[in-house]
């Protein structure tokens, strides 16, 4: 293996933020004489990738396998990419400065659709052929996985294999299968065929896509069922993670306290594909938070999940942690709170006693539309929570909404402004007159993008022109003072919608746009919609047929061969109930809703009640 450091070092004087490329962080591993190297690559800049918990989990799981060296790589910023190309230096792993093209396994996360152009940037900088079909035995095995793997088709030709679902257990099986194949002198295609036999692994090259339906060849299963870690407590979360020098997003210790969410919000892909709910026990959470803070030296810990406030033991956990961390200056935070589960006592235990901003997500402006999306939150609950928070001394609040939801009318859009006005009035009434001027309500309004494996997967996405019109309606309805309003650019949401539900035909489009200079599309200042429209035209793909068209529920879907355990009948029924604005309860607290996940995957809901310290 070649160590590229002597060739990298001279480039660092002329690039921004060289800390992205130097390794040597606390917790980075440098095993001696590994015989199998894995490059874990996040398709964005270091400061975003280092916040990714999946990479941190896989890094630790890989390090536990004898002879295996997990290493990291990120997409170099444009200035560094230019330096690398100009000096003929390939993309390298941080830990050993090995060329990424020389590792055994290259794992690329699929965190969000707008990183797709960066996947090609990684492969090209590494000198690896962009398409699986063009790779030889000397190239690394290119694996994908992560949230976007649930509709893998747009990027399928760039990957040798893609893992669907939880990686904790699958990663070791993948490495073992690859090593065994190589030890036996098997060809690349034979190794891929063996990998197709690992539960949860999808090998795109082994599928024929005729008339929109995937058919597996040579023993590859017609449907790939997602991997699921049945018991979160069976795998300890990383408590000695890499501690970045650089100021990264979410620069804090994180402990995942539960996985999955069955609130059943009909727009939410994560809530559908990560079922069932599996809580970690409170004893384990308290133990791991304290161990993680001790090992990392972080000044803040976040208890993460899709809906942390839903953890059945949360108050107990926060009480124990605030007692243990008293006087240390270390604070505990949660990603967001639930309107219907907010308590001032709980909020006081967060943020190290500081009254930091509170975040709530009512999602829609009218009760009718909240019922359509199954967001079981009422206006009364929201206003009661606002009253409690502002009376107790908070003076800032952030609210998340969406526009473009199915069945939305202008009345619903104006309803957002009306609801924000009521929140503002309630907040003002809850504080002394002298403090009313300091009240701020941040309102963030995203555009709904229908996603695969949700009850809205058949629905039409609102066109960019209509989004812009509704954004104007929204602006007109918003109170003029005391509110900071922000929304998403309509072009980005449109493209996200195309990738979210498109098929393999989009791979050509992604390659075309990347060749035309598309990189870092998730960064507002780097995104160029025109470049993507030209690429779509050049490849003869009509994006509105993918994003803006309502599908018949019998139509084959590009992700039809990806099985997350949900029955199609459940999704259809949920869609019908949405049309009728009928809500569905959460099976964690109520009876089974028949989504199909538990029987199909052989798992069950796990709640974390248990012992005390």
Partner 1 sequence: MSNGMFRARITYPKAGRLRFLSHLEVTNACERAARRAGLPYAVTQGFNPKMKVGFGPALPVGTGSTCERFDLWLREYVPADEVLVRLQSASPSDLAPSEACYVALRAPALTVSLTIAGYDVETGESGSAEDLQGFLDAVVKTGELVVEHKGKQKVFELTSTLPKEPTVRSMNGRVVVDITTRMSERGSLRPEALVMAAFERSGTGGSVLSVTRTHLAEEEEAVRRLL
Q: Which is nearer to partner 1, 16 or 552 (CB)?
A: 16
381 φ, ψ (degrees, to nearest 5): -60, -45
Place of tokens 């309502």: 550
Q: Which is nearer to partner 1, 189 or 240 (CB)?
A: 240
Q: Which is nearer to partner 1, 97 or 196 (CB)?
A: 97
Q: Which is nearer to partner 1, 34 or 244 (CB)?
A: 244
Q: Which is nearer to partner 1, 59 or 532 (CB)?
A: 59
Percent helix, percent strand, percent coil in the chain, to nearest 5:
40, 15, 45
> With contact defined as beta carbons under 8 Å apart, do 405 and 267 qualify?
yes
- Cβ-based neighbours of 469, under 8 Å, separated by 6 or more: none
Q: Find the helix packing angle between 490-501 and 529-538, rounded to 10°.
A: 40
Minimum gap (Å) between residue 257 Cβ and partner 1: 22
Dihedral, 443, 307, 296, 56 alpha carbons, nearest 10: -100
Instruction: Identify the burial level of 202 via C-beta atoms within 10 angstroms of its C-beta, where 0-12 means exposed, 13-18 middle and 19 or more buried.
Output: buried
- Cβ-based neighbours of 358, under 8 Å, separated by 6 or more: 337, 342, 347, 389, 394, 396, 397, 398
Q: Which is nearer to partner 1, 251 or 505 (CB)?
A: 251
> With contact defined as beta carbons under 8 Å apart, do 585 and 262 qualify?
no
Query: 3: how many CB neighbours lie within 10 A of its CB?
Result: 12
Q: Closest by alpha carbon to 109, among 177, 157, 162?
A: 162
Q: Closest by alpha carbon to 179, among 66, 43, 336, 274?
A: 66
Q: Which is nearer to partner 1, 219 or 393 (CB)?
A: 393
Place of tokens 């800390």: 19
Q: Which is nearer to partner 1, 11 or 601 (CB)?
A: 11
CA-CA distance, 101 to 93, in Å (whole number)? 10
Tokens of 572: 């259809």
Minimum gap (Å) between residue 249 Cβ and partner 1: 15
CA-CA distance, 383 to 362, in Å (whole number)? 11
Place of tokens 């994560």: 270
Minimum gap (Å) between residue 433 Cβ and partner 1: 23
> With contact defined as beta carbons under 8 Å apart, do 108 and 97 qualify?
no
CA-CA distance, 269 to 150, in Å (whole number)? 9
Minimum gap (Å) between residue 22 Cβ and partner 1: 4
Residue 249, CA distances (Å) to 7, 46, 303, 321, 574 in order = 29, 10, 15, 24, 36
Minimum gap (Å) between residue 3 Cβ and partner 1: 13
Minimum gap (Å) between residue 30 Cβ and partner 1: 11
Q: Which is nearer to partner 1, 353 or 602 (CB)?
A: 353
Minimum gap (Å) between residue 224 Cβ and partner 1: 42
Map residue 29 onto helix, strand or coil: coil
Minimum gap (Å) between residue 352 Cβ and partner 1: 7
Minimum gap (Å) between residue 262 Cβ and partner 1: 37
Q: Which is nearer to partner 1, 22 or 598 (CB)?
A: 22
Minimum gap (Å) between residue 49 Cβ and partner 1: 17
Minimum gap (Å) between residue 19 Cβ and partner 1: 6
Minimum gap (Å) between residue 508 Cβ and partner 1: 40
CA-CA distance, 440 to 299, in Å (whole number)? 27
- Cβ-based neighbours of 486, under 8 Å, separated by 6 or more: 442, 443, 444, 445
Burial 285-294 (b: 16+ CB within 10 A, else e): bbbbbbbbbe
Minimum gap (Å) between residue 90 Cβ and partner 1: 19
Q: Which residues bind partner 1 (CB under 8 A)?
A: 9, 12-13, 18-19, 22-26, 243, 245-247, 293-299, 327-330, 352-354
Q: Which is nearer to partner 1, 147 or 351 (CB)?
A: 351
Q: Which is nearer to partner 1, 299 or 526 (CB)?
A: 299
Q: Which is nearer to partner 1, 324 or 549 (CB)?
A: 324
Q: Which is nearer to partner 1, 243 or 607 (CB)?
A: 243
Minimum gap (Å) between residue 370 Cβ and partner 1: 36
C-alpha 32 chain-centroid distance? 33
Tokens of 54: 């999946």
């Amino acid at each position: 293996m070649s160590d590229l450091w002597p060739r990298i070092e001279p480039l660092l004087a002329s690039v921004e933020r060289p800390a992205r490329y130097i390794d040597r962080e606390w917790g980075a591993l440098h095993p001696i004489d590994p015989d199998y190297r894995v490059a874990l690559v996040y398709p964005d800049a270091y400061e975003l990738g280092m916040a990714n918990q999946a990479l941190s989990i896989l890094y630790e799981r890989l390090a536990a396998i004898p002879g295996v060296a997990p290493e990291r790589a990120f997409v170099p910023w444009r200035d560094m990419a230019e330096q690398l190309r100009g000096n003929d230096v390939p993309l390298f792993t941080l830990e050993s400065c090995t060329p990424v093209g020389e590792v055994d396994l290259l794992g690329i996360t699929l965190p969000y659709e707008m990183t797709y152009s960066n996947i090609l940037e990684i492969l090209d900088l590494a000198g690896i052929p962009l398409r699986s079909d063009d790779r030889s035995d000397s190239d690394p095995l290119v694996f994908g996985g992560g949230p976007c793997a649930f509709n893998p088709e747009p990027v399928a030709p760039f990957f040798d294999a893609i893992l669907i679902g939880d990686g904790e257990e699958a990663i070791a099986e993948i490495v073992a299968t690859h090593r065994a194949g190589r030890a036996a002198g098997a060809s690349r295609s034979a190794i891929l065929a063996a990998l197709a036999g690992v539960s949860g692994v999808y090998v795109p090259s082994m599928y024929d896509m005729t008339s929109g339906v995937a058919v597996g060849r040579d023993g590859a299963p017609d449907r790939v069922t997602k991997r699921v870690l049945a018991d979160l407590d069976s795998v300890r979360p990383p408590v000695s993670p890499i501690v970045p020098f650089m100021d990264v997003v979410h620069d804090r210790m994180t402990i995942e306290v539960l996985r999955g969410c069955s609130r059943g919000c009909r727009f939410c892909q994560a809530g559908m594909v990560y079922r069932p709910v599996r809580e970690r026990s409170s004893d384990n959470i308290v133990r791991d938070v304290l161990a993680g803070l001790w090992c990392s030296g972080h000044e803040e810990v976040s208890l993460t999940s899709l809906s942390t406030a839903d953890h059945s033991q949360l108050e107990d956990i926060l009480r124990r942690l605030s007692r243990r961390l008293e006087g240390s200056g270390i604070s505990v935070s949660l990603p967001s709170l639930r309107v219907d589960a907010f308590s001032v006592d709980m909020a006081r235990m967060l943020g190290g006693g500081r009254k930091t901003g509170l975040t709530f997500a009512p999602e829609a402006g009218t009760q009718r539309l909240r019922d359509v999306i199954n967001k079981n939150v009422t206006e009364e609950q929201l206003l009661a929570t606002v009253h409690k928070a502002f009376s107790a001394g908070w003076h800032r609040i952030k609210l998340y909404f969406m526009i473009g939801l199915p069945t939305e009318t202008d009345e619903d859009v104006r309803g957002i402004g009306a609801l924000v006005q009521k929140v503002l009035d309630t907040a003002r009434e809850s504080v002394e007159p002298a403090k009313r001027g300091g009240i701020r309500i941040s309102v963030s309004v995203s555009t709904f993008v229908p996603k695969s494996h949700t009850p809205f997967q058949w629905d039409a996405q609102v066109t960019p022109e209509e989004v812009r019109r509704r954004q104007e309606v929204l602006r007109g309805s918003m109170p003029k003072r005391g509110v900071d309003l922000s929304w998403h650019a309509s072009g980005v949401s449109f493209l996200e919608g195309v990738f979210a539900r498109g098929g393999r035909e989009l791979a050509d489009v992604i390659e075309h746009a990347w060749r035309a200079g598309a990189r870092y599309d998730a960064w507002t200042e780097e995104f160029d919609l025109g470049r993507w429209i030209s690429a779509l035209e050049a490849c003869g793909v009509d994006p509105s047929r993918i994003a803006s068209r309502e599908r018949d529920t019998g139509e084959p879907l590009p992700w039809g061969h990806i099985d997350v355990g949900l029955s199609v009948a459940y999704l259809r029924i949920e869609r019908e109930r949405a049309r009728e604005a009928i809500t569905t309860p959460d099976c964690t607290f109520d009876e089974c809703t028949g989504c199909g996940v538990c029987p199909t995957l052989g798992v069950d809901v796990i709640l974390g009640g248990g012992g005390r310290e």
